[in-house]
Amino acid sequence: MATDRGNLVRLGQFIRRRRSELGLTQSQLGRRIGYYQERISALERGSYGLPSLNAMAELADALECEIIDLLEASGFVSRALTGWETVRPFAASATVDPVE
């Protein structure tokens, strides 16, 4: 599946903002998840590509946020007042009912 460059940039901006809020350097964040500083830099620039779901979960833990925050930043889901609306990989009109 092709990933929109704008989504990668938005994901990178989220990672950079959250890392800064935690007072972490790129190297410190990288050490939390076993990445080199250069890979964190590429992620933040939106030039690395979309991380795997496992990598997203590790990033969420390292950034002390929910994985849904990263998925939303990368354009895969959007929050709605009544539940979750899928944006990808299904058709934009598809919806998923929240788990109760």
Q: Would you say the C-alpha torsion 56, 12, 71, 23 has a positive or negative sign?
A: positive
pTM to 2 decimal places: 0.75
Q: Which of 3-7, 36-40, 67-71, 89-93 has the lowest mean pLDDT?
A: 89-93
Cis peptide before 89 (omega within 30 of 0): yes
Q: Among residues of the chain, what percentage have pLDDT more than 70?
A: 74
Residue 57 has pLDDT above 70, yes or no: yes
Full set of structural domains in the chain with CATH: 5-67 (1.10.260.40)
Chain segment 17-29, per-residue pLDDT in tens = 999 999 999 999 9
1 neighbors 89 (Cβ within 8 angstroms): yes
